[in-house]
Structure 1
């Protein structure tokens, strides 16, 4: 079955990763070389949680529209090229005058990334009511949002309003994607009950859960989220797979062994795999009334495979459908830009 369209609302962020080795040589005409110079080589990849999810969905075969505010700067042009090459519909994206958001990833020896953000007054958060009122959600089976788009003002509150409107005719999916370095976790805790009242699907990582419900077991947290309104809650556990709870009925899915390059974008790819699997089976478009635990388990198992393939390459580079079908052999590294910082 051809999935019905999914609309993703949220940010595009330039993920900046350090590349081992010296910075590239100076172009000719920029002065004499002074020998070995201190510096840092950087690789810039198009990212951002919602944008990664949109790319993942489109590559898997779900018709996907991204509602984003795209800057006209060099990073905004990178985003556009990457999204369009992946098959994402940008016909309703907003051209923004503000600069793009940057996230500098510090990846440890195990592939885990910690971020610092350059996000003040950037394009992603400056939504106006008029811009979002123009959003065409007709025919959309699911509206997915989350990450910083839901907590950064002035746009966050307006995004919540749009999700509330969308719920009248579409499944709503939310991924909090907590970023303590940029937003106090108390902001997420205060808003989470409202999100659960709107969301049919809530996906969190273990780190997210630790930030919004410290000291609470995953199963107990799922029950709290159900009581607030979310029907399907999924907690991803990295190499250990995922725990899903559908109205309190639990399923656990193991992880998939993989050679981890880094974990950047893995959770976003999981969400894309989950929504694609459900949409392909005609289970999106309402309140998940026909969804059963066995289908949740199958969807999560598929999503775990998609996330594992993302971990096997550098940066937020979700797999294509044929790579998932083939087990991911021969994955390439996707689009990138390199620069140096002295």
Structure 2
């Protein structure tokens, strides 16, 4: 197993990630006996995946989450620690962990059935979030279920209002229609776009949020400067202050696409941080800077697709795409 010391070279400003850890359970037919269904459990959850990817790339990553003391919680803790994530902002929670039973389609895309009622991830109190340390943090990333599950969702939004004073805000809605009505995401989008500097969606998200032109116009009108659409094998389309750019994805042998979007976001924030562009409203970001960051991010996502589960690459696996020095 690669250790953080072997796999990372910490550079750039810190990024804090707020949101859930989820136990992703995949059916394992090879281990199943007659009359049984064996499950292979892999630590997941979009925000936790992003924190892992950031740390492995070399960005100081601070995870702000509520981790259960149950066996799944211990698995989450081990994964985050082994990847070099700062867990000083974690709340040790009494509630159980969130479980998602996953199935993969023929293209390696996962669909999830969630067991999330009353689980640890959503039980934030105002006091817990108020005491999370953002000292030295240049960006805060959040999204997925953390922004739609009560009671924590509203408290995270309040937390972002305060975090904006010194940090770039990144949001990935990561729509989960099997658990939350997409109408909830659509209703909250204007608030999120007003809080965020960066909003990323996937093509699957837009199945529930509308076409990209309308989506990006709504986000820009609310205040978000950078709006991103990840398009799987077709790469990414970006809209920066209304100007569109695109970056193709490299060809890879896909094991599955689990965690690829989270790895993309981590790659983008890592590269922007390495150029000293985080910490505010993306002042100073040029088309050249953005093109470089997009190319880096799609490469990180592609490498994640080559292995099973949300297992993003380490710094040393990127070769000539090694991090910049700010």
Runs of 4+ in 1 over 3 A off after TM superposition: none
Equivalent of 2:34 in 33, 37, 40: 37
1:95 paired with 2:104, answer no
Partner residue of 2:317? 323
2:203 equivalent in structure 1: 206
Residue aligning to 2:237:
243
CA distance in 2, matches of 1:305, 1:183: 31
Matched, 1:152 2:149: yes
Alignment of 1:208-223 (within 5 A): 208-213=205-210, 216=211, 218-223=212-217
Q: What are the within-5 Å matches in structure 2 for residues 1-342 of structure 1?
A: 2-23=11-32, 37-213=34-210, 216=211, 218-325=212-319
Q: For 1:262 and 1:41, how far apart are their aligned partners in 2?
A: 19
Higher relative contact order (CA 8 A, sep 6+): 1
* Bigger mean CA offset, 285-294 vs 65-74: 285-294
Map Cα deviations across residues 108-134 of structure 1 (whole Å, 9 max, x no partner): 222111111000000000000010011
Secondary structure of the residue aligned to 2:282 is coil
Q: How far apart are 1:42 and its partner, in Å?
A: 1.6
1:266–1:308 CA contact under 8 A, matched in 2 = yes
TM-score, normalised relative to structure 1: 0.89
* Separation (CA, whole Å) in 2 of partners of 1:39 and 1:200: 48
The whole-number CA distance in structure 2 between the counterparts of 1:39 and 1:302 is 43
Q: Distance in 1 between matches of 2:177 and 2:85?
A: 29
Give the number of the structure whose alpha-carbon radius of gyration is greater: 1
Q: Report what 2:5 is aligned to.
A: none
Q: 1:60 touches 1:320 (CA, 8 Å); kept in 2? A: yes
Structure 2 residue matching 1:21: 3-state secondary structure? helix
Q: Is the 8 A contact 1:143 1:170 kept in 2?
A: yes
2:179 and 2:319 map into 1 onto residues whose CA distance is 37
- Secondary structure of the corresponding residue to residue 171 of structure 2: strand
Distance 1:95 1:109 in 2: 38
State the alpha-carbon separation in 1 of the partners of residues 218 and 61 from structure 2.
31
Q: 2:324 maps to what in 1?
A: none
- In 2, Cα distance between equivalents of 1:41 and 1:242: 36
What secondary structure sits across from 2:221 in the alignment? Answer: helix
Cα pair 2:98 2:114 within 8 Å, conserved: yes
Q: Is the 8 A contact 2:14 2:138 kept in 1?
A: yes
Distance 1:259 1:326, change over 3 A: farther
Name the structure with the higher helix share: 2
Q: CA RMSD in A?
A: 1.3
Rate the CA distance shift 1:7–1:22 in 2: closer, same or farther, 3 A. Answer: closer
